Structure 1
Amino acid sequence: MNRSHLPGILAMAAVVVASNILVQFLFGQWLTWGAFTYPIAFLITDVMNRVYGAGPARRVVFVGFVVGVVCSLIGTQIMGEFGPLVTLRIALGSGLAFLTAQLLDVSIFAALRSGKWWRAPLASTLVGSSVDTVIFFTIAFSGALTWIEPANDVSWAGEMLPLLGAGPMAPLWVSLALADWLVKLSLALLALVPFRMIVTHLTAKPA
């Protein structure tokens, strides 16, 4: 790790901290504000991968993971209206989702890096974001995994409601996951613009 990697490290740490804070605030019925900041982590990983390679990208991911663990530990000590802001299931789901999805993103990007410029960041982010959503929401809220933290009552997340308020009946947590996933997919497409601009700037040869 050298000084040229520091902006990526700081950016990843900032995104993780901001997302952990903003996830406490609702945006509409299905989302939190954190849903709009967290996907930036994939943009940071992809920029690092394109400019510096898979090794530095993985190191930035591990920094983000450590920062996320620290945020979760702090959250477990802050009591909200219904108990700790961060439960064991949320901490476990968040950590596993981040690390698995981001490392998968790095591997897919590296495998596709020689293709068209947009293919690697788009494919890696789409797959990584999908895996992230499945892992986090399943571990954090699925009724099948209550054995992880029996004292944590997540029965509210299993309430059967129309999917996103209009579709077939499904557990509430599935609607939350689907809404989060759709935001990630949308931002994956939008992120291609700043990805191209940042990579071009960082790789431009001095005049």
Structure 2
Amino acid sequence: MNKKDVFVAHRVYLLLGALFMTSLVVSNLIFQKFFYWYPFNLNIFGASLFEVSVGILPYPITFLITDLISEIYGKKAANQIVVTGIFASVFSMLIVYTADVVPATNWSPVNDSQFTNVFGSTIIAVFASMMAYLFAQFVDIQIYHYWKTLTKGKHLWLRNNFSTFLSQFIDTLTVLLLLCFFGKIEWTKFAGLLISGFLFKVLMALIDTPFLYLGVYLFRRRFNLKVNEEIHLI
């Protein structure tokens, strides 16, 4: 590639990284609100089958981005994004903890108890999310590249969905185990939330497949990349 293409490729990589970090950090901050993602209220194992945390909404974006980076920039670049995401999560946790510790003024629109009620569980949530995220993302990247090598860069839908299905199950299982262990979610809701969360993530993985195809198509067209050819920036 010429210098202009390298510059553009770097810029796009940074933008994808910014979207990844934002989605990851925000998912940790908003996790305490739950909603029904389907109008029917079907109970299973003590919890609604379609009840999930709003924190799950931006989270599938992180897997879409790592799959896109894996496809275009390679395994090393994708792993670097994952490691950077851990740093971003820890840093956000420290900021929230500091904000929770300092006392509010008597005229503050949000008092100490309100702030603690909303963000007080963030530290545990970030810890649980980091552990789940660490396992899931590395599994996703490993499986993605295994299938990419096996299929010689063909069948993009296969590696995208199969890597995401397994990694999302690991992510959902790990984060729920930790949140239940720390008492943030009742154990009676564990099985229902596990099934509901995994089904929602599987649905999102299927929905984002066309977007991955579009992203890969645009990259290959812009940088004249062949099938299975990668841009090596790092």
Decide: shared fold, TM above 0.5.
yes
Is structure 2 residue 226 aligned with structure 1 residue 197?
Answer: no
Q: Which residue of 2 aligns with 1:17?
A: 25
**Equivalent-residue separation in structure 2 for 1:40 and 1:100 (angstroms):** 17
Deviation at 1:206, TM superposition (A): 6.1
1:185 to 187, 194, 202: 202
Q: Offset at 1:92?
A: 2.7
Equivalent pairs, count: 184
What is the identity, as a one-letter code, of the residue corresponding to 1:54? K
Identity %: 23
| 1:33 to 2:54 alignment | yes
Matched, 1:138 2:138: no
Letter in 2 for 1:188: A
2:116 paired residue among 70, 73, 80: 80
What's the counterpart of residue 146 of structure 1? none
- Structure having greater relative contact order (Cα 8 Å, sep ≥ 6): 2
After TM superposition, the structure 1 = structure 2 runs for residues 1-207 of structure 1, keeping only pairs within 5 Å, are 2-28=10-36, 30-77=51-98, 78=100, 79-81=115-117, 84-88=120-124, 90-113=125-148, 114=152, 115-142=154-181, 154=183, 157-158=186-187, 171-205=188-222
Q: Where does the alignment leave 5 or more consecutive residues of structure 2 unmatched?
A: 1-8, 37-47, 101-114, 225-234
Go from structure 1 to structure 2 and tell me whether the alpha carbon gap of 1:12 and 1:206 turns closer, same or farther (over 3 Å shift): closer
* CA distance in 1: counterparts of 2:67 and 2:185, whole angstroms: 36
Instruction: Report the alpha carbon displacement of residue 205 of structure 1 after superposing the two structures with TM.
Output: 4.3
Deviation at 1:59, TM superposition (A): 0.5
Contact between 2:70 and 2:77, CA under 8 Å: does it hold in 1?
yes
The structure that has the greater radius of gyration is 2
Which range moves more in the overlay, 18-27 or 91-100? 18-27
Larger CA deviation: 13-22 vs 32-41: 13-22
TM-score between the two structures when normalised by the length of structure 1: 0.79
**What CA RMSD, in Å, does the superposition of the two structures yield over aligned residues?**
2.4
Give the Å deviation of 1:83: 8.0
CA displacement 1:11-70 (0-9 Å, x = unmatched): 111111221233233223622222121111100000000001100011111112211222
Alpha-carbon spacing, 1:42–1:156, altered in 2? closer, same or farther (3 Å): closer
TM-score (normalizing by structure 2): 0.71
The 8 Å contact of residues 140 and 164 in structure 2, kept in 1 or not, is answered as yes
Deviation at 1:8, TM superposition (A): 1.9
C-alpha distance in structure 2 between counterparts of 1:18 and 1:86, whole Å: 11
- On the 8 A contact 1:15/1:41 being kept in 2, the answer is yes
